[in-house]
Amino acid sequence: MLRTQLSACFSKSVSSLSPPASTLEDVAANHRGLARVVLKKGKAQILKDGNPMVYSGAVDRIKGRPAPKTGDVVLVSDGSEKPIGWGLYNSVSMFCVRLMQLEEEVRRDPSCTLNMEKLLEKRFSDAIDLRRSLGLPSSDTNAYRLINSEGDRLSGLIVDVFGEVAVIASSAAWVEKYRPQIESVVSKIAGVRHTWWRSSVDILKEEGLEVPREKEQGQPPFTQKVKVVENGVYYLVSPEGQKTGFYADQRENRRLISSLSKDKRVLDLCCYTGGFSLGALLGGAHHVTGVDSSMSAIELANENIHLNNLDHERISFVKEDVTEFMKRALLRNEEWDVVILDPPKLAPRKKVLHSACGMYRNLNSLAMQVTRRGGLLMTCSCSGAMTQSRLFLPTLQGAASMSGRRIAVLRQAGAGCDHLIDPSYPRGEYLTNILLRVS
């Protein structure tokens, strides 16, 4: 009798120590028709470690009828069907699900669970608080990145703030689906009076979406240029320009070039609207030359000279292919003390990495040759495939061999601190800047 009572008590005590039911499972029970994406065995850990992307090859089966559609909220479970998180489904993309929350986060705070509108508000609030702690915006810088995709845990969404204008860049199907909610949250940001939506049409095709160009979406052209300030330098930004209209990720690198330019002759290759050029001249450069193949960019760069009341005798912008410009400079035996080479993305995908390495090598070989021996070359890559493959520095070593120059790495850096990088998802890291001494 006593043994039976003790056994019953022991069973109750063990039961009381058992872990509670999954909060995510509990919340999901109130959502009828919620599909479940079940992973293959061994595929859950990388997601628990923080990678937000569920690849289609990692999925064992999808439970639920009707089957989920692109943009739908789904549960993600391990091989035993235990939920590990929830996210947004895509029936076409190689990214089957983009995770929004993990189970442990739901346990801590279930207020946003399976609710994208509330989650967006929370992610934006966190992003705003973080930028404020970094001093952004400030009296001398009001151009910055507010949302940086995976870094701010909203994979496929970028938001750049330029004074009173916020440019929203979409590269995921879920972002297009939740466009009204995103625009609503952005419009409530203090100081923002206008929003401009940019859809990455080619990337969205891979997401299974045929999205018309901006002009075909009923969105009126953003003809007004936006005046911004960065490190005390004024710029005019066109939200219809390249990327979001301004490369805020180079802010700290522009500051560095400015500090290195006093009394130097500076060459800014692929200068766009003159970011590095203007900073170099305001840093005391003897003369600055900017080169870009885009006439609209050159026109805006010239307007930026007027905006900062700079001496036209000490700065000039040239519309020309940078390769041809450097070849002609070599024929004239012309050299510069400081050279910046910031080309467009040459390796957007791994399949073109080999040819891109050749283009980077050729460009940098010419750039090294137009850099005075003992001078400085800041060379940049915004190609994700180059960063992830770690081939950029070996490519520069090959360029040095081609040019007959020797190089020493003085500094290697990425984007500014407002461009958060998720270390568990290295595909999100793109910008690499290397400062070289050329001899």
Residues 339 and 372: their CA atoms lie apart, in Å, by 9
Q: Residue 311 pLDDT > 80, yes or no?
A: yes
Please state the rounded mean pLDDT for residues 33-44: 95
Q: How confident is the model at residue 12 (pLDDT cuts 50, 70, 90)?
A: very low
Report the chain's mean pLDDT, rounded to a whole number.
Answer: 90
CA distance 199 to 156: 10
**Confidence label for 21 from pLDDT (cuts 50, 70 and 90):** very low
pTM reported for the whole predicted model: 0.89
Closest-CA residue to 55 (of 65, 64, 44, 70): 44
Nearest Cα neighbor of 74 from 48, 55, 97, 58 is: 97
Give residue-wise pLDDT tens across range 170-186.
Answer: 999 999 999 999 999 99
Strand blocks (E) in 12-72: 36-39, 53-55, 59-63
> Which of 97-111, 271-285, 380-394 has the weakest average pLDDT?
380-394
Give 292-307 pLDDT, tens digit per residue: 999 999 999 999 999 9
Spatial distance between the Cα atoms of 277 and 261, rounded to a whole number of angstroms: 10
Range 181-200 burial, b when 16+ CB lie within 10 A, else e? ebeebbeebeebebbbbbbb
pLDDT for 9:
47
Cite the beta strand spans of 207-298 per DSSP E. 226-230, 233-237, 265-269, 287-292
**Which band of pLDDT confidence, cut at 50, 70 and 90, is reported for residue 240?**
confident
> Counting beta carbons within 10 angstroms of the beta carbon of residue 296, is it exposed (0 to 12), middle (13 to 18) or buried (19 or more)?
middle
Give residue 383's pLDDT: 79
The rounded radius of gyration (Å) of the Cα atoms in the chain is: 26
pLDDT(270) > 70: yes
Strands 371-381, 73-77: pairing kind:
unpaired
Give the N- to C-terminal CA distance of the chain in Å, as an integer. 92
CA angle at residue 240 from 123 to 258, to 5 degrees? 80
Binning pLDDT at 50, 70 and 90, where does residue 398 land?
very high
In which band, very low, low, confident or very high, does the pLDDT at 65 lie, cut at 50, 70 and 90?
A: confident
Residue 428 has pLDDT above 60, yes or no: no
Output the pLDDT for position 354: 86
What is the per-residue pLDDT across 116-165, written as a single tens digit (0 to 9) for each?
999 999 999 999 999 999 999 999 999 999 999 999 999 999 999 999 99
Q: What is the pLDDT of residues 73-109, one digit of tens each?
A: 999 999 999 999 999 999 999 999 999 999 999 999 9
**pLDDT for the residue numbered 3:** 47
pLDDT over threshold 70, residue 368:
yes
Helices 275-282 and 295-307: angle between axes, nearest 10 degrees: 30
Q: What is the mean pLDDT of residues 281-285?
A: 98
CA 290/CA 62 separation, integer angstroms: 54
d(CA 6, CA 3): 5
